[in-house]
Structure 1
Amino acid sequence: MKLNRSSFIEKIADLPFYTEGPVADGIGNFFCTTLHGGSILKINNRNEISEWAKSVCPNGQIILPGGDHLVCDSMLASVRRFSRYGKFLKNEIEGYCADFPIYSPNDLIKDQMGNLYFTDSIRHKGKVCFFGINGEQKIVVDGLDYPNGLVLSADEDCLYVAESYENRILKLVLKAPGLTGESPKVFVRLPVNPSGNEIDNLPDGLALNNRGELLVAHYGMQAIQLISDAGKHLATMDTGMPLTSNLCFLDDNTLVVTGGFGEPGPGCLFKISF
């Protein structure tokens, strides 16, 4: 996959609310959230959109092997479980993790064993949290300036975290699930918006391609940044969407990109084919 001018960008829809939390189900459909719109949307392989579920301020989400969804709700300070049919089941995490208060769960991932990592996105005191399959809870790292998107390396030995207000991606080496062996290292510092405005260069959602390269949705930069597995900035792709918020792969050659033109809206959805 290369980010270049030959890539085909398809607008799926203009929406009243800014979009986030894209995730594919593996059979041609994907889902996204609308934060201030309070909706989790389903988009089928014909780009038809329907409301799949409601929450107060749904943000990042993942689909579990059985079809249930885990969804961060930034207003409810919770990670919520919905059935495969969109019915709310319970809060997996609410208000606290490892007896520490959480404020704004933003994005989340699971490892191959089923352990959960999620970010608590606040300024200066943000956290990456861990909720193990055995119920164990940990704070993986704290004191971050708005930790946002996160992704595991293919071998799950490293966790990459977007630290939005530092405009950088951190790399955490994992000794064991939820346990780091050292302080976070700066993996890459991202390009800076010439506007000089802090909010115009905030790394947000992350994804890995099948070559181990990191893709960064760069909020305020209207861009996706491509980063090598050694932490070198390789390319920038203009998405045409100023607030590019998040991204996921539908297949090896197709990305879904969320975001919009303002918050709380308007929002937009794109597919990018390579």
Structure 2
Amino acid sequence: MTSPIRELAAGLRFPEGPIAMPDGSVLLVEIEGKTFTRVGADGRVERIAKLAGGPNGAAIGPDGKVYICNNGGFKWHDSAEHGIRPIGQAEDYAGGWIETVDLRNGRVERLYERSDAAPLHGPNDLVFDRHGGFWFTDHGKTRPRDVDRGSVCYARADGSQIRELIFPLWSPNGIGLSADERTLYVAETFTGRVWAFDLSAPGEIAKEPWPQSPNGGRLVVGLPGYQNLDSLAIDSEGNVCVATLANGGITVIAPDGSKVSHVPTPDAMTTNICFGGAALRTAYITLSSTGKLVAMDWPRPGLPLNYLNT
């Protein structure tokens, strides 16, 4: 039986990138609002920093700063019927980047604007490993007549190194690590696919051979029908819990793809999930087109994140 959904905050401008903090607050970005925001345990909304472009996925790093994937900005459509939704590349778009926000003073700094292979086009989501590096997806940008091919990069938190490890992918979005950090999961938005990549060392992919694998990974699942995938979190049993667009909700996928279930939410633009609260048994979910942060009890604990829940 699905747990009731509890509304924690409303009036947000396309929330994404939630981080459940130990004090009961939730940090997140507002992509359309271009802010880094805190929702207090009492529901009070505080805008910590103003950001340019399109702030997207967020994570706490080893230095305590918040690391943010900035996609460079979207065009937006807003209607009473469907709420807010992105509809392509912003007119003032000039590339994407990785940036940090210092929680002590709100200071914002850019860390990376390109990898060793190419400029960053639309960084989307990220996850830190226990060695202090982070994996992130570059979703690319969509224009009226063409789209970018996406990639996955690995970078050091101190700004000293960034490498493109997986290319090409079609609209890579959510990203997460297994508990033993030997497997990297990546969700593709427009294909409705989740891929798994074996890791041979920190920041190193043990690629599957071509042509069996088009990108070095193995296919975990491809969802049927019209279902687009967004950001994700891993639970304590290794399930990939991925926010699902169009068919709004959270799709729960066994590590080997053998079982797939769906937890519905009342927003077609359900974009992200993170775990927090007592024993990590609360799922915090962003309902982006309606501008809400909600929570629900989860049947399993979430997987602790490096530098946050451990």
Q: Say which of 62, 84, 93 aligns to 2:103.
A: 84
Q: What RMSD over aligned residues (CA atoms) do the two structures have, in Å?
A: 1.7
Q: Say which of 180, 190, 197 aligns to 2:223.
A: 190
Structure-2 residue corresponding to 1:70: 67
Structure-1 residue corresponding to 2:7: 11
Q: Deviations over 1:124-162 (max 9, x none)?
A: 510101113573321110111110010011101110001
The farther-off stretch of 99-108 and 131-140 is 131-140
Q: Aligned runs of 1:35-184 on 2, under 5 Å?
A: 35-56=31-52, 57-75=54-72, 77-94=96-113, 96-122=114-140, 123=147, 125-132=149-156, 135-182=160-207, 183-184=216-217
Is contact 1:152–1:160 with CA below 8 Å preserved after alignment? yes
Is contact 1:98–1:137 with CA below 8 Å preserved after alignment? yes
Structure-1 residue corresponding to 2:90: none
CA distance in 2, matches of 1:82, 1:173: 31
**C-alpha spacing 1:158/1:242, structure 2 compared with 1 (3 Å):** same
CA distance in 1, matches of 2:150, 2:286: 23
Structure-2 residue corresponding to 1:257: 285
Q: Say which of 263, 267, 271 aligns to 2:291.
A: 267
CA distance in 1, matches of 2:129, 2:267: 30
Is contact 1:151–1:159 with CA below 8 Å preserved after alignment? yes
Deviation for aligned residue 1:89: 4.1
The one-letter code matched in structure 1 to 2:239 is E
Q: Deviations over 1:73-115 (max 9, x none)?
A: 1115111111123523421111x11141111111111100111
The farther-off stretch of 182-191 and 238-247 is 182-191
CA distance in 1, matches of 2:174, 2:284: 15
Structure-2 residue corresponding to 1:197: none
CA distance in 1, matches of 2:44, 2:151: 36
Q: Which runs of 5+ in 2 are unaligned?
A: 73-94, 141-146, 208-215, 299-310
CA distance in 2, matches of 1:15, 1:232: 38
Structure-1 residue corresponding to 2:30: 34
CA distance in 1, matches of 2:168, 2:48: 35
The farther-off stretch of 213-222 and 82-91 is 82-91
Q: Which runs of 5+ in 1 are unaligned?
A: 194-200
**C-alpha spacing 1:15/1:30, structure 2 compared with 1 (3 Å):** same
Question: % of aligned pairs identical?
Answer: 28
Structure-2 residue corresponding to 1:221: 247
The farther-off stretch of 149-158 and 61-70 is 61-70
CA distance in 2, matches of 1:16, 1:253: 24
CA distance in 2, matches of 1:50, 1:255: 21
Structure-1 residue corresponding to 2:80: none
TM-score by length of 2: 0.79
CA distance in 2, matches of 1:70, 1:105: 11
Is contact 1:25–1:63 with CA below 8 Å preserved after alignment? no
